[in-house]
Amino acid sequence: MSQDPEKVNMPRPELFDFHGVSMTRLFTDNWEEVQNFEARPDDILIATYPKAGTTWVSYILDLLYFGQTCPERQTTIPIFERVPFLEIFVPNLISGKDQAENLPTTPRLIKTHFPVQFVPKSFWEQNCKVVYVARNAKDNMVSYFYFSCMSQLQPEPGDWSSFFQKFLEGNCM
């Protein structure tokens, strides 16, 4: 079993420009392995902006696909293991890519916050289903700000005014 990446104690990451996108090393240190991920034709990719409903949609899809045949998984396996976060790489924990590869389910439900140009090409080559989730930008920004204040895996958000400006300029992870 892996550990919830949000529960790991480590210094906050720094934001940097990665091929024109603001990122942290938690999403780029495993870049080559993630880009070489081998999707299967029945994989389902949940693609969202952070704090736009990723977990909500993950629960819904997991229930739709496995709720009748394997209801105990809802109470015995945490959602971050049932629907791994493809690009996350926290040192000393199993990577999201490795979790996704080892999923015993068919289809495999996999989530990402990558922009479309960073999604591994195998998802397109295998013609996988993609569930894209968008949320009202104002609601998304408020949720993302409070999440960033709480989560040590996020860069320091600063005060509301500076976060607001960074969000509008696209300078958030």
- Taking the C-alpha atoms of residue 85 and residue 100, their distance in angstroms, rounded to an integer, is 8
Q: Which of 51, 97, 108, 113 is catalytic?
A: 113
Distance of alpha carbon 165 from alpha carbon 25, whole angstroms: 23
Could you give the residue ranges of the DSSP H alpha helices within the chain? 31-35, 54-66, 73-76, 79-82, 96-101, 121-125, 137-150, 160-169
113 flagged as catalytic: yes
Task: Please give the positions annotated as active site.
Answer: 113
